[in-house]
Amino acid sequence: MKYFTYFGNHLINAKLPDNSEVFFAKPPLPGIKRSALIDHTKNAFENPLDMPPLRELVDGNSKVLILFDDNCQPFPATKKPDMRQIMIETLLKMLYECGVSKMKIELMCAVALHRKMKEHELEFMLGKDIMDEFYPHQLRNFDAEDSDQIVEVGKTDQDEIVETDKAALEADLIIYVDMIQIPLNGGHKSVAVGLGTYNSIAPHHSPHMTSESPHVMQPEGSHMHACIERMSRLIQKETPILVIEAAMNGAIYPFHLRYVGKANKDCNIAERIIKTFTPATLSLLPESARYKILKSVRTDYEPMAVNAGDIDSVHEKTLSLMKDQLAIDIPRQYSTLVFGLPDMSPYAVDARINPVLVVSDILGYVFNWFYNKPLIKKNGVVIILNPTYEIFHEEYHVAYKMFYDEVLADTTEPFEMQQKYQEKYAKDEYLIDCYRNRYAHHGFHPFTVWYWATYPLKYLSKVILVGPKEPRVAQQLGVDWAKNLDDALSMAREISGEDDVVALTMPPFFYANVKE
């Protein structure tokens, strides 16, 4: 059977065994149009869940810190105006009406250890008016290495250090504006991680948190999220936190591209014809042209709902909505997963995906996108379809290049790399300078994404990379290599003794709800 899927910046028709299963995301649930988002935002702040209305939380003396996500979410980028712009413009107007002085409002992009947003990226998210009014003196990126701004909040009951930006403790109210795309994000993770330092992120982004529990991508049953919640509650004791969460639907593709994420049976005649000829047409273009085309696509995401208020109450509603959009019932587990990975990662916005992200996005993200149990059987096989070029963005992925060249050349085992290399990279002065002043991810960041693969690296018998012309890249990543999909399927068949193959068509994203 044909499996229409991504292969980096290409779309291909891969050939799978005839008895294979291919699963697709649900159609997008109805969303709130941008024209109605102002009213929904106002209503959320006027009627928050388990907190007083905004007008009762602030007055003319209040100091307010407004936090918002970086461009890792929603992902890929939405069309303009960005929903953060609409929601924060609405919030600012409401604060002014409550008597809050502009001089007592600070806006901050909660980048944690991600790369900082450039000025044009902030303007894309927030719009020119907010930039003109607040940037750069009252609008900035969080800086986890700014010793003048970082303060210790305390330690949790499990002796985990909680550090944050002093602006969070000096504020009378923190308001976090959050676009939620998957259950990984939002809730207690927002402030505790978004304003987290290496010292406070290392305890939960650790192989110890994920080696026995695969639940990285959702809070339920997750050691990682439990640690984050402990930290968040410590911050809440110091400053009230009001969150507003927009739970996003699955409308990733604009209308003319929706066929990419649909099963043939759900496509009309025109879409089926386009789907048939797309791979051959794209093959006529150079890879650089395909890259520009795919990177230019802007998503049609819309919020299914907007809720404000107490973290626990709001996030409970968000998770319920996420499950309505994301949960796909799948009857059983399979022996082999085949996945075509696009040149796309939340950590490679405006950049090529690098080899480290190829592995971590499949094993850390896709493998862990399930609710009750993994889609793949114990000792199963994952086959990754991606050309996996050894390309590292010169600004953003400095630490990733060093991690690939040095750490992975020595070990791919998470606990070993943690012991031998983590502190060295986290405290490296050059990498800290790149993070602070040159828009690079923090030196610890490549470790965090590799650690999310700790459970599947133990659980699976084999990970096979199909795409690179030679095995060297796969060897560096600690995975197997096959020259084509047929050979990879043959390798998987030797392990399972049968053709028991499942494939996923993403994006749009979804979570498996395995029934058996």
In the 8-state DSSP scheme, what is residue 91? H
Peptide bond into 76 cis (omega under 30): yes
Nearest to 114 by CA among 204, 198, 192: 198
Segment (H or E) for 452? none
What pLDDT does 255 receive?
87
Per the CB < 8 A criterion, the answer to whether 278 and 217 are in contact is no
CA distance 222 to 249: 24
Per the CB < 8 A criterion, the answer to whether 471 and 481 are in contact is yes
Instruction: Report how far apart, in Å, the C-alpha atoms of 31 and of each of 246, 335, 349 are.
Output: 10, 36, 25
Give the class (CATH, top level) of 2-26+327-514: alpha beta
Per the CB < 8 A criterion, the answer to whether 179 and 74 are in contact is yes
Residue ranges covered by each domain of the chain: 2-26+327-514, 34-170+179-248
Residue 211's Cα: distance from chain center in Å? 20
Peptide bond into 81 cis (omega under 30): yes
- The half-sphere exposure of 306 on its side-chain side, counting CA atoms within 13 A, is 28
Task: With H, G, I as helix, E, B as strand and everything else as coil, classify residue 51.
Answer: coil
Q: What is the pLDDT along the chain (516 residues), one digit of tens a residue?
A: 999 999 999 999 999 999 999 999 999 999 999 999 999 999 999 999 999 999 999 999 999 999 999 999 888 888 899 999 999 999 999 999 999 999 999 999 999 999 999 999 999 999 999 999 999 999 999 999 999 999 999 999 999 999 999 999 999 999 999 999 999 999 999 999 999 999 999 999 999 999 988 889 999 999 999 999 999 999 999 999 999 999 999 999 998 899 999 999 999 999 999 999 999 999 999 999 999 998 898 999 999 999 999 999 999 999 999 999 999 999 999 999 999 999 999 999 999 999 999 999 999 999 999 999 999 999 999 999 999 999 999 999 999 999 999 999 999 999 999 999 999 999 999 999 999 999 999 999 999 999 999 999 999 999 999 999 999 999 999 999 999 999 999 999 999 999 999 999 999 999 999 997
In the 8-state DSSP scheme, what is residue 484? S
Amino acid at the residue 271: E
Instruction: Please indicate, yes or no, whether the overall pTM of this predicted structure exceeds 0.75.
Output: yes
What pLDDT does 470 receive?
96
Q: How many of the other CB atoms lie within 10 Å of CB of 36?
A: 14
CA distance 175 to 193: 15
Nearest to 376 by CA among 481, 497, 496, 216: 496
- The angle subtended at Cα 286 by Cα 280 and Cα 291, nearest 5°, is 95
For 499, phi then psi, to 5°, come to -90, 95
CA dihedral sign, ordered 318, 232, 442, 456? negative
Helix, strand counts (H, E) of the chain: 23, 18
Bridge partners of 177, per DSSP, are: 68, 244
Per the CB < 8 A criterion, the answer to whether 227 and 204 are in contact is yes
In the 8-state DSSP scheme, what is residue 144? T
In the 8-state DSSP scheme, what is residue 75? S
Looking at 142-225, which runs of residues are DSSP E strands?
150-155, 161-165, 173-180
What's the full length of the chain, in residues?
Answer: 516
Instruction: Report how far apart, in Å, the C-alpha atoms of 403 and of each of 202, 330, 439 are.
Output: 17, 36, 17
Query: What does the radius of gyration of the chain's CA atoms come to, in whole angstroms?
Result: 23
Nearest to 440 by CA among 84, 74, 111, 191: 111
CA distance 244 to 178: 6
For 326, counting Cβ atoms within 10 Å of its Cβ (0-12 exposed, 13-18 middle, 19+ buried), the class is buried
CA distance 506 to 298: 16
What pLDDT does 504 receive?
97
**Both structure tokens of 250:** 């699955």
**Both structure tokens of 84:** 């953060």
Task: With H, G, I as helix, E, B as strand and everything else as coil, classify residue 87.
Answer: helix
CA distance 92 to 100: 9
What pLDDT does 231 receive?
98
Superfamily for 34-170+179-248? LarA, N-terminal domain (3.40.50.11440)
Task: With H, G, I as helix, E, B as strand and everything else as coil, classify residue 66.
Answer: strand
**Both structure tokens of 393:** 């963005």
**Both structure tokens of 217:** 């991508």
Task: With H, G, I as helix, E, B as strand and everything else as coil, classify residue 145.
Answer: coil
